[in-house]
Structure 1
Amino acid sequence: MSTSNRWLWLAGGVLLAWLIYLLQPILTPFLLGVLIAYLGDPLADWLESKGLGRTWAVTLVFAVFTLLMLLALLVLLPLLGRQLVKLAEYVPLGLDWLQNQGLPWVQAQFGLPEGFWQLDQLKKVLAGHLGDASGIAKNLLLVVGNSGMALALALTNLVLVPVVSFYLLRDWDIVMARLRTLLPRRNEGVIVGLLGECHEVIGAFLRGQLLVMLALGTVYALGLMLLGLDLGLLIGMLAGLASIVPYMGFAVGIVAALIAAVFQFGADPLMLAGVAAVFGVGQMLEGMVLTPLLVGDRIGLHPVAVIFAIMAGGQLFGFVGILLALPVAAVIMVLLRHVHDLYKLSDLYGESTVAPPTQQDT
């Protein structure tokens, strides 16, 4: 590639990033639509191979996705609402324990001055906000209602996601074929190979890791609810979501569950052992069954890289950046792998032709 072409590609990349930054308020439904179409395309292709037309196959896939989402909302939202009310009751109790037992011990150990923590004000603020769900809803409605444009944009996005998803899923193969015809003819093989690796990594992560997160969240939530933990569903779902980073779901979930168990049951060793057993079973399932079966070893993203990518995407582009963070990181990882291979083959990396000094020379 000539120097002028390199600068042209660099300018195109900068322009694309700038456009994403400017258009991020309206990009969310389109990115969600692309994500749903990407996840649903293999199933639609399988249905096509069974004799269904593309439109009917997409309609069936779309109907299944929609039904599953509606069932999840109808079942989970009421349960989560009740658990959020429980959480609002536990927060003041937790702050009382910190104020009366935990923090005085820390204060005595480190010689901190009296009134250092100022927990009274924090407890009042948290208890007031968490306990008044209607007030939160009222304030949210006031904020949204004061901006007609924001309300219209939110409703438009809500309607656009299924519409964009349906049409992208229906025409996915056509779009991919047309994009391939735009590739430079001389480099088509190399680019298709790189895109194939990117597709393998992104597909493994999006399909595999999302299924692992869902399975772990289900295992954790069911296990904690069977133990009788009031916040079992909430903590299980939180641990499942945190499992996007390996071991973080386990760490976040077991700490939160142990704290909730102590507040609900006291220092009951059987209950604490039950919580540990639930997360131990979840970890064994993840390591021996879920990750090898659903994800494999194709992702290669280090946990620190995952955390950095999500935080950097959110910082730079907000929610749109969070959606793009891991696919972009996976693509960068594939490109860096090939740059590394080219570097190993380059003269710069080649072995030195100068003989090492002998003992007599030194």
Structure 2
Amino acid sequence: MPLIRQGGWILAVALLGWLLYLLHPVLAPFLAGILLAYMGDPLVDRLEARRIPRTWAVVLVFALFGLLVLAALLVLIPMLGRQLVRLYELAPQMLDWLQLMALPWLQQQLGLAEDFWRFEQLKATFAGQLDGAGGIFARVLGQATASSLALLAWLGNLLLIPVVAFYLMRDWDLLMARLRALLPRSREASVVRLAGECHEVLGAFLRGQLLVMLALAVIYSTGLMLLGLELGLLIGVLAGLASVVPYMGFIVGLSAALAAALFQFGLAPLPLLGIGVVFMVGQMLEGMLLTPLLVGDRIGLHPVAVIFAILAGGQLFGFTGVLLALPVAAVIVVLLRHLHELYKLSDLYREPAAVVSDDPPGPA
């Protein structure tokens, strides 16, 4: 009977996973709503502790989220849009600079053949990609407006996110209590303890890591713009987002900033040195202040595991998988840690007890 019961649980979990895989194209607004409710619940609990009714606390948290989104729409997005347009305008000049200055110098230093780069072919290909990219938004908008049903479905999913988040945030504690009441009484304590560890890890990632990314984006963008780099804001935001992977933000941001500085300032040493200082300061603040203070060592993911999780999530579930890769990987690490503890307590791991012989010892 125990074997049959365990097989039934395994089958139920497998069926649930298969069902989620089939439904994942329509799960995006619900996942986004769950994420917003999970991140906003601690704020709602703090407001509720100050004797504010929970519904009004949820309204206040939603107002705060709305102000942040509005500020991003009114301030940050137009600035990034202008920098993207500027990047599109500078792209042909950058290609000419590579062709006339950078690559010939590198070719001379390395002793390469004259037609090694085949730059005209590369330039034509890249220019074609830029021309195609410039009309992507127009094509997508045209396809969306051509089908009223598709446009209504997209708008419906977008409007569904705050609705789902509002009701989940309002009833979050009630839902958690009902889920706890469904747990087997004999397993409740261990399941609650395991869920608490997963909650700690998820909280560390969702709140801590996102704050680290935001802080690095501000540090990099501010430093690069103070140096006079035209694309400083765009590169700084890109480096902050890429910092979700350890050292990736530093590598991507420094490489892009140095390339942009070489094009804008040439070989002037002060801008190049200033860019190196900006990213070194950002890296030092991340390692010694931001990550220990905001995240700590609670996630415990190796950098290789982080890269693999992001690639695997993108391969399996696309953009949604990329967003959920690290939280899911962090929870899997917690589960594997407990499985490791159970394995070390099992008879399979422990050495067999020494066999006691009944025969008296022989003469010395």
Taking structure 1 as the reference length, the TM-score comes to: 0.90
1:199 is aligned to 199
Whether the aligned pair in 1 keeps the contact of 2:34 and 2:168 (CA below 8 Å) is yes
Equivalents in 1 of 2:325, 2:128: separation in Å? 36
Please, which runs of 5 or more residues in structure 1 have no aligned partner?
A: 356-362
Q: Give the 3 Å change call, closer, same or farther, for CA 146–16 of structure 1 in structure 2.
A: farther
Deviations 1:112-157 (A, max 9, x none): 694x654434423433553687633322222223444432221111
The question of 1:188 aligning with 2:185 is answered no
Q: How does 1:1-362 map to 2 (within 5 A)?
A: 2-100=2-100, 102-103=102-103, 105=106, 109=110, 114=115, 117-127=117-127, 130=130, 135-351=135-351
Whether the aligned pair in 1 keeps the contact of 2:216 and 2:286 (CA below 8 Å) is yes
Deviations 1:262-314 (A, max 9, x none): 11111111101111111111112112211111111111011211121122112
Whether the aligned pair in 2 keeps the contact of 1:90 and 1:263 (CA below 8 Å) is no
What fraction of aligned residue pairs are identical, expressed as a percent? 65
Equivalents in 2 of 1:5, 1:229: separation in Å? 64
Deviates more, 1:204-213 or 1:23-32: 23-32
Letter in 2 for 1:38: Y
Letter in 1 for 2:24: Q
The structure with the largest alpha-carbon Rg is: 2
2:358 is aligned to none
Whether the aligned pair in 1 keeps the contact of 2:213 and 2:240 (CA below 8 Å) is yes
Letter in 2 for 1:172: W
Letter in 2 for 1:76: L
Post-superposition shift, 1:42? Answer: 0.5
Post-superposition shift, 1:100? Answer: 4.2
Taking structure 2 as the reference length, the TM-score comes to: 0.90
Whether the aligned pair in 1 keeps the contact of 2:97 and 2:263 (CA below 8 Å) is no
Equivalents in 2 of 1:264, 1:109: separation in Å? 24
Deviations 1:37-96 (A, max 9, x none): 111111110001111000011100010011111111110111111111221133323333
Equivalents in 2 of 1:192, 1:269: separation in Å? 58
Equivalents in 2 of 1:14, 1:106: separation in Å? 57
Q: Secondary structure at the match of 1:96?
A: helix
2:361 is aligned to none
Equivalents in 2 of 1:266, 1:113: separation in Å? 23
Equivalents in 2 of 1:344, 1:353: separation in Å? 15
Whether the aligned pair in 1 keeps the contact of 2:306 and 2:326 (CA below 8 Å) is yes
Letter in 2 for 1:326: L
Q: Secondary structure at the match of 2:189?
A: helix
Q: Give the 3 Å change call, closer, same or farther, for CA 264–132 of structure 1 in structure 2.
A: farther
Whether the aligned pair in 2 keeps the contact of 1:88 and 1:127 (CA below 8 Å) is no
Equivalents in 2 of 1:4, 1:112: separation in Å? 70
Post-superposition shift, 1:158? Answer: 1.2
Deviates more, 1:46-55 or 1:342-351: 342-351
Letter in 2 for 1:8: G
1:359 is aligned to none
Please, which runs of 5 or more residues in structure 2 have no aligned partner?
A: 356-364
Q: Secondary structure at the match of 2:184?
A: coil
Aligned pairs, number:
354
Letter in 1 for 2:335: L
